[in-house]
Chains A and B, each alone.
Chain A
Amino acid sequence: MSSVLSINNLAKKYYNKTALENINLNFEKGKIYGLIGPNGSGKTTLMKVIAGLHKQTSGEVLINNIPASHKTKANLSYMPTDDFLYDSFKVKQILKFYSDMYADFNYGNALNILGDIGIDTEFRVSKLSSGLKGKLKVTLALSRNTDIYMLDEPLNGVDVLSRDTIIDLIVKSYNDSKTFIISSHLVNEIEKIFDYVIFLKDGFVELTGDAENLRQKHEMSIENLYKEVYR
């Protein structure tokens, strides 16, 4: 199977603190990867390095065999966990921004999804609840037609019903030409969609493997394995 994303000997250091160390990972086409770990384990830093928002101290990130740069951002749809949307913009202006900046953004699809989940495009971003902002961010990321989708904590700050909506959106967007990397604390709610799981601990890869194999080998769910690993 071909790698759409390769990470080789990656390290990220902040003077006296090591955020990531010796990360070697390959991501294949058509799989959903769960990137899990507690706060401070390095999930967000790793995603930001892949997305080009942070620069690694050493090592390389290859997207379709090309070193990560502004050009590879066209092949990667990243949803940060933070509130990053321009607050003063209306939802329709955010859609237009995505449409103008990303050639692969499907404006009509985004409108349909927003209609289904009940977000009026006339709303101003600053007036949206955290749940609606979460859904809007996921909609924007999934409305691009690209190789890699990277969602950082898509279930954060979202109520139980909205979590199901977001998981449904991810599943509907998935096909065997796309690769998903999803980080989450809420392992029990999302583990069912993971094909492969990466456990990060203190900036290192603690454990990786096929989700089903890990369940069988350890005779427990990924959530219980998570508790075991980080105990």
Chain B
Amino acid sequence: MLKLIKYEFMRKDKVIMVFIISLIINLFMVLKLQTEGSAMFIGLFPLISMTLYIVDIISMYSRDLNNKSGYMLFMTPNSGYKIIVSKLITAILEGLFILLFYFIIILINGIYMGSFYNINYNEVINFINMILSGYFRFNLGHVFVFLITALVFILNFILSAYTAITIRKSIFSEIKFAGFLSFIIFIAINWFTSFTAKKLIPMLNPYFESLTQVQGSLTATQLVYVFLPLMIVLIIQCAIMTVASGYLLEKKINL
């Protein structure tokens, strides 16, 4: 598994180029526009990097199933399940690297700006303490629950794309308009997953509806109550899609 993940990363030379280009753009914006440039970069980076990340993760899987270079991977004595799980772990790690890169950029920009504005670091520490203590009616617990839900949601989205591509290359491998068909399957899977989520979430948590109608902000515990059923449904869907894709890769694939 580790070897598969290693070679997945070795094939991501273009992603490293994106990191380097991002650094250069950030440097240019900070030096040219200073605070405004930094704020612009920090505001835009999550949106652009998220789009590029999703495109990279899905297109790499699509290339493996649609291009001859996929033979390199599928000729090896690794099961379909192992291949799909290694791709998911690679996707998670890549997402975490992008997040880490983003925080490092914020830190570097903050330190650089601090040298101009004589920032009082005690105030910064106090501000962080206020966040931790829940002064702003949210704390690290909220952030953690939100991040985990976001991660599971992104994985669910990626897996729905993987499943659509896998179905196209197995059950419907010799049908015309393959790309269009993949897209239709992708839409159908997403409709089905949201439909099952709507039906299952109230069953898993009878208080879900009342919690979502609470006025004002929710406590971290209440937020967990809201997100937990959603997470459970998303995780179940992820597990089903992983097993289904692994089975099709193992038993029905036509490369």
Contacts and interface: CB of A to CB of B under 8 A. Distances in A.
Interface in B80-130: 80
A76 to B, nearest CB: 9
B91 to A, nearest CB: 19
Contacts of B69: 84-87
A85 B69 CA distance: 6
B255 A70 contact: no
Contacts of A88: 11, 13
Given A15-B174, A85-B69, A53 B10 contact: no
B252 to A, nearest CB: 5
Given A15-B175, A53-B74, A97-B72, 20 more contacts: A17-B174, A51-B75, A54-B254, A55-B252, A69-B250, A70-B79, A70-B80, A70-B250, A73-B76, A78-B75, A80-B71, A80-B75, A82-B68, A84-B70, A85-B72, A86-B11, A86-B72, A88-B11, A100-B7, A101-B3
B75 A53 contact: yes
Given A93-B10, A101-B3, A53 B72 contact: no
Interface of B: 3, 6-7, 10-11, 13, 68-72, 74-80, 170, 173-175, 250-255
B10 A48 contact: no
Interface in A15-64: 15, 17, 48, 51-55
Nearest to A88: B13
Q: Chain B contact residues: over half helix, strand or loop, or mixed? A: loop
Nearest to B4: A101
Contacts of B79: 70
26 contacts: A14-B173, A15-B175, A17-B174, A52-B74, A52-B75, A53-B74, A53-B253, A53-B255, A54-B255, A69-B250, A70-B77, A70-B80, A70-B250, A72-B77, A74-B77, A82-B68, A83-B68, A84-B70, A84-B71, A84-B72, A85-B72, A88-B11, A97-B7, A97-B72, A100-B6, A101-B3
Interface string A110-134: 0000000000000000000000000
Contacts of A87: 69
Contacts of A53: 71, 74-75, 253-255
Interface centre among A14, A78, A85, A97 (most CB of B within 10 A): A97
5 tightest CB-CB pairs across the interface, nearest first?
A14-B174, A84-B71, A82-B68, A74-B77, A73-B77
A218 interface: no
Given A48-B255, A53-B255, A102 B77 contact: yes
A102 to B, nearest CB: 7
Interface of A is mostly: loop
B71 A71 contact: no
B253 A100 contact: no
A148 to B, nearest CB: 13
Nearest to A81: B68
Q: Which of B69, B70, B77 has the most CB of A within 10 A?
A: B77
B74 to A, nearest CB: 6
Nearest to A87: B69
Contacts of B252: 55
A107 interface: no
A89 interface: yes
Which of B11, B75, B170, B252 has the most A CB atoms < 10 Å from its CB?
Answer: B75
A87 B76 CA distance: 18
A83 to B, nearest CB: 6
A102 B73 CA distance: 12
Contacts of B11: 86, 88-89
Nearest to B172: A15
A73 B3 CA distance: 17
A53 to B, nearest CB: 5
A228 to B, nearest CB: 33
A55 B76 contact: no
A142 to B, nearest CB: 15
A102 B72 CA distance: 12
Nearest to A100: B3
B94 to A, nearest CB: 17
Nearest to B14: A88
A55 B75 contact: no
Contact of A71 (B77, B251, B254): B77
B174 A55 contact: no
A147 B13 CA distance: 36
